[in-house]
Chain A
Amino acid sequence: MLTKKENLDAIEKFSENLEIEGRSLWKDAQIRFMRNKAAMISLVILTIMVLAVIFLPMFAEFTYDDTDWYALHQAPSALHLFGTDSLGRDLYVRTLIGGRISLMVGVLGALVAVLIGTLYGATSGYIGGRTDRIMMRILEILYAVPFMFLVIVLVTFFGRNIVLIFVAIGAIAWLDMARIVRGQTLSLRSKEFIEAAHVSGVSNWKIITRHIVPNVLGIVAVYSTLLIPSMILTESFLSFLGLGVQEPMTSWGALLQEGSQTMEVAIWQLIFPACFMIVTLFCFNYVGDGLRDALDPKDR
């Protein structure tokens, strides 16, 4: 639902080749990834971005909620690098703090989605039979539910809580993950080492968590990288509508919303958060593409 069709296809193709390549695949993949300039540059930028949003606010002159009534809508200057907003708050610090929230929601949301999706898919694929059919049927039904609308409903009715947003966003995105992992598990199920574990009396749950899940981690890694930017987008979408993080806390989506309202008088309030967000999304996409190419032996 949240990823592109082509990515899913590529992930599936990669998965078909996974077993044959064995262990050396990881080293191969690493070498191929390092050769991919766009992906490597993106990775460096992302690392700098993460370090910046974590550490730079600590050394800044202002905090994200310092208001200054004598400095409303100030253009960028040496004192306020990115200018100030309508309450005179320093936009440089706010952009960084907003980045912290956006990235955190992105990563945590992806984590929730990956966790649910992997376990659901692995369980469904491993147990098989009627359980599998029912679980897949449930998945198909959930695919048709307009989740974005349900999340909006959820957030308005149960309060605008950041934890709730993580969970809600993560809960939308696990469907694709579950499908991919199930496909993987089906091919793993008939492997000898799984049968051996089964014969020696290991419980189903242990087999799933100890043997199946570690073996599908490769795809999960690729998919998570592609999931993070779409999580960030979803969070911004909610914040833009005023349903995400609440004042004085902020995120890129919330900053964009404020910026779009004052762009006639203070265009920098829109430009700086927008640039940060777009650069981040760009980099995540390139790293994801790079990982996919590196792990897809067919493309060599």
Chain B
Amino acid sequence: MFKFIAKRILEAIPTLLVLITISFFLMRFAPGNPFSTERPLPPEVMENINAKYGLDKSVFEQYTTYLTNVLQGDFGPSFKYKDFTVNELVASALPVSAKVGAAAFVFTLIMGVGVGTIAALKQNTWIDYTIMSTAMIGVVMPSFVLAPALIYVFSIYLGWFPAGGWLDGSFQYMFLPVIGMSLLYVATFARITRGSMIETLNSNFIRTARAKGLSYTYIVLKHALKPAMLPVVSYMGPAFVGIITGSVVIETIFGLPGIGKLFVNAAFNRDYSLVMGVTILIGFLFIIFNTVVDILLAAIDPKIRY
């Protein structure tokens, strides 16, 4: 087991390097730079600026400097927000995204698995049909349609929740973003859970357990739930990626001061170092999370060899 974990972690290193390289060269070969203005600066001033941000050295030199800095956890100064380093900007935005994202992820898992299990246990009854047709709507409803719809109903029409803002993440302000972010994945998890639960409940070992005279609740909780969770766990990786990506839209709509909004603003401002920093950070999170999911899968499923 230890060897497997070590191997998975070692495998993540080249991925990270490729990510850093791609984002670096994408930025460098992009036309224009953050200092290109309508009225060109005097060449002497431009030279000083370039020297300050290391833009006067050769591309290769810039790349190696950047790489060593990043590996030490230093993403450099922001090109747009003067007097701020990328680390400071990310540090102020990350807690917001982490709080909303974690709430959305937990909500997704509990709701999705719960609803899916209920649908599977009540298979082919009106409960099942209602849940599954609602889930189908959830699957095709993109977050940028859902979020405005939520605002329209709950903020403008009913007036229950504020339409945007953060206010240190009080429940009122978190509610709509979390729902908007997670509904698609609640629906997807419900569909996956229902499918695999039905398959598990039809398998031989469940029949044996029932023949032994165990109670139905006991069988579902003790015997069926664990094997039925396999596809759910393996979908956790893509769901995590989706929730993070979706946060770009949700944070823009609800005006949350999180990573997603920071990223979009940075991209509009051509803030090289900030955009690169955020991309690398997100990639890093993806890699960690996928590794955790793989290890979890190996722990649950005795058939996976490591």
Write the residues of chain A forming the contact surface with B, with a CB cutoff of 8 angstroms: 1, 4-6, 140-142, 144-146, 148-150, 152-154, 156-158, 229, 233, 236-237, 240-241, 243, 253, 256-257, 259-260, 263-264, 267, 270, 274, 277-278, 281-282, 285
Contact = CB atoms under 8 A, between A and B. Distances in A.
A5 B148 contact: no
Q: For chain B, what secondary structure do more than half of its interface residues adopt (helix, strand, loop), or is it mixed?
A: helix
Contacts of B264: 152, 241
A81 to B, nearest CB: 21
Contacts of A149: 245, 263, 278-279, 282-283
B278 to A, nearest CB: 7
A285 B136 CA distance: 9
B302 interface: no
A90 to B, nearest CB: 22
Contact of A260 (B144, B231, B248): B144
Contacts of A1: 238, 241
A-B pairs with lowest CB-CB distance, top 9? A157-B30, A260-B148, A281-B140, A156-B267, A148-B245, A240-B144, A144-B15, A146-B282, A141-B15
B141 interface: yes
A237 B248 CA distance: 9
A3 to B, nearest CB: 9
A144 to B, nearest CB: 5
A267 B235 CA distance: 36
Interface in B268-291: 268, 270, 275, 278-279, 282-283, 286-287, 290
A145 B140 contact: no
B19 interface: yes
Interface of B: 11-12, 14-15, 18-19, 22-23, 26-27, 30-32, 136, 139-142, 144-145, 147-149, 151-152, 156, 188, 191-192, 195, 231, 234-235, 238, 241, 244-245, 248-249, 252-253, 263-264, 267-268, 270, 275, 278-279, 282-283, 286-287, 290
A5 B156 CA distance: 37
A146 B289 CA distance: 13
Contacts of A240: 144, 249
A280 to B, nearest CB: 9
Contacts of B32: 157
A237 B142 contact: yes
Q: For chain A, what secondary structure do more than half of its interface residues adopt (helix, strand, loop), or is it mixed?
A: helix
A142 B145 CA distance: 29
Contacts of B12: 144
A145 B19 contact: yes
A42 to B, nearest CB: 12
5 contacts: A6-B195, A146-B19, A150-B22, A233-B142, A241-B249
B273 to A, nearest CB: 13
A144 B290 CA distance: 8
A6 B191 contact: yes
A177 to B, nearest CB: 16
A278 B152 CA distance: 18
B282 A150 contact: no
Contacts of B31: 157-158
Nearest to B195: A6
A166 B136 CA distance: 27
Contact of B268 (A140, A144, A156, A237): A156
Contacts of A152: 248, 263-264, 267
B152 A263 contact: yes
A263 B14 contact: no
Contact of A145 (B18, B144, B192, B263): B18
Contacts of A158: 30-31
B15 A237 contact: no
Contacts of A5: 192, 231, 234-235, 238
A259 B140 contact: no
Contacts of B234: 5
B22 A259 contact: no
Contacts of A285: 136, 139-140
Contact of B248 (A145, A241, A257): A241
A106 B259 CA distance: 28
B235 A141 contact: no
A141 B188 contact: no
A145 B22 contact: yes
Nearest to B144: A240
A156 B270 CA distance: 8
Nearest to B156: A264
A146 B191 contact: no
A19 B214 CA distance: 44
Nearest to B141: A278
B67 to A, nearest CB: 17
Given A4-B191, A263-B156, A267-B152, 17 more contacts: A6-B231, A140-B11, A141-B15, A144-B15, A144-B19, A145-B15, A149-B278, A152-B264, A153-B267, A156-B270, A236-B144, A237-B249, A256-B144, A256-B148, A260-B148, A263-B148, A274-B149
A217 to B, nearest CB: 26
A237 B144 contact: yes
B140 A278 contact: yes
A274 B150 CA distance: 14
A146 B286 contact: yes
A6 B114 CA distance: 19
A259 B148 contact: yes
Contacts of A263: 148, 151-152, 156
